[in-house]
A and B are shown apart, each in its own frame.
Chain A
Amino acid sequence: MSDTAIPYEVQPHPVTGIPNGKFGIWLFLASEVMLFGALFSSYILLRTGSASWPHGAEELNVPLATVNTMVLITSSITMVMAWASLKMGSLPKFRLYMAATILCALGFMGIKYVEYTTKFQHGHFPSTSNFFGIYFTLTGLHGLHIVGGVIVNTYLLFATGMWKTDREHFENRVENAGLYWHFVDLVWIFLFPSLYLL
């Protein structure tokens, strides 16, 4: 074992019982929970502390957001199917499902773009009110996370050479990217009712 470099291991670490990469991504997700948690906490404080607060459906497009919710849930199943396809030994299926995941993500961003531009056209900006401030901050940060996921997933879609030379290493990468992606879906599952329905 080198003193200067930490080699990547597909073998589970003797202390944690899981590969380092998986442990690492879970720790990262824990920090992300705190990040979005802090913003949700701010939302609760702003809302309970204000004299009036609009009902989500009054200001925001619920049908469009419902479609977006389904788009993201679909992307989650295609992501896990991409990983399962690798485990079942099919690279073409992996490519299909990973491409579907990326397309769903881009669809989500497209719908978000429509939502945002409509708001701007009606003169609703983050500075307009606390409601819109927290709406744009929460959904904007979430959108940035989607973009990050798209970049990683696109890389994995094209960097499949590793699957032929170092199969489990690549499968672990896909699984870890999947964990991140499911987390992004999870955040939206809470964002959607909190902002749009309540």
Chain B
Amino acid sequence: MDATHETHSGAAAHGPEEIQKHVRVYIMVFIALACLTAVTVGASYVNFGAHWMNILVALVIAGIKASLVAAYFMHLISEKKVIFWVLALTAGFFLLCLFLPLLTVGEVRAAQTIHEAAAAAAPAHH
């Protein structure tokens, strides 16, 4: 059995004393998450002007909460680079997946408009 700890990945390399420090961080993150949940709900009652502003605020808060969970609970902050690359690639494709279909919305609306115009023009020929 390998006695050295240095060969293990970031989070697993720590002895019991270091884990204690981590525990303090976990508790702070938990409190932050609880507060941010309250902020999320509270912010939903505030009118930030346009609806898309409310969406932006909600997603930014959710993003902060997600980053806290990922960085500290999932140990990403001390994880090897390969995981960042996996996630960066995933994030890229996720954004593509999210926004690519929106490009077709214009086409659908244009097709609908043409169809409606044709239907409106047709009865006049009776």
The answer to whether A45 touches B19 (Cβ under 8 A) is: no
A186 B69 Cβ-Cβ under 8 A: yes
Q: Kindly specify which of A81-89, A123-131, A133-141 makes contact with the partner chain.
A: A81-89
* A40: chain B residues within 8 A (beta carbon): 98
Given contacts A88-B19, A197-B44, 10 further A-B contacts (CB under 8 A): A37-B94, A57-B44, A66-B37, A76-B69, A81-B26, A87-B14, A175-B11, A189-B69, A190-B59, A193-B61
Q: How many residues of A contact B (CB 8 A)?
A: 55
Bin the interface of chain B by size.
35 or more
Q: Is the CB of B44 within 8 A of A198?
A: yes
Q: Which residues of A contact B (CB under 8 A)?
A: 10-12, 16-19, 22-23, 26-27, 30, 33-34, 37-38, 40-41, 44-45, 48-49, 57, 62, 66, 69-70, 73-74, 76-77, 79-81, 84, 87-89, 168, 171-172, 175, 178-179, 182-183, 185-186, 189-190, 192-194, 197-198
Contact for B102 among A22, A44, A186, CB less than 8 A: A44
A88 with B16: in contact, given A179-B74, A182-B69, A190-B66 (CB under 8 Å)?
yes
Tell yes or no: B27 within 8 A of A by CB. Answer: yes
CB-defined A-B contacts under 8 Å, sample of 22: A17-B82, A18-B82, A37-B94, A40-B98, A41-B101, A49-B105, A66-B41, A70-B34, A73-B37, A77-B26, A77-B29, A79-B73, A84-B22, A87-B16, A175-B11, A183-B74, A190-B66, A192-B62, A193-B62, A197-B40, A197-B58, A198-B44
